[in-house]
Amino acid sequence: MQNEKLHKVLESYYFLGEELEKRLYHYKKFLNELNAKLKVSKEVRDQLPKEIFTDDSIRIKTKIARKIFDFFVRLRTNRTFTE
């Protein structure tokens, strides 16, 4: 039961990180990196209820999501090279 909850949390963060990377990639086509990150952050903020999520909590959750996504991408990449 505990493992299922952990799996769902990790999966949610992974998919959030994946979507953040897709949006960032999209905006980097016509904006510099800083402006692309600001645009993605604004999109996230606009989609969440301001009464529940503070800017700090959004920043922390997106940072965690990016780290989890990057970890699994690197893990997959390393596995591909070692097989």
Q: Which two tokens stand for residue 41?
A: 């952050």
Average pLDDT, the chain: 90
SS3 state of residue 9: helix
59 Cβ contact list (under 8 Å, min separation 6): 41
SS3 state of residue 30: coil
pTM of the model: 0.81
CB atoms within 10 A of CB 40: 21
Model confidence pLDDT, tens digit, residues 57-79: 999 999 999 999 999 999 887 76
Report whether 72 contacts 16 (CB < 8 A): no
Q: Which two tokens stand for residue 14?
A: 């992974």
At 49 the pLDDT is: 87
Show the DSSP H helices in the chain as ranges.
2-28, 33-47, 55-82
All structural domains of the chain with their residue ranges: 2-82
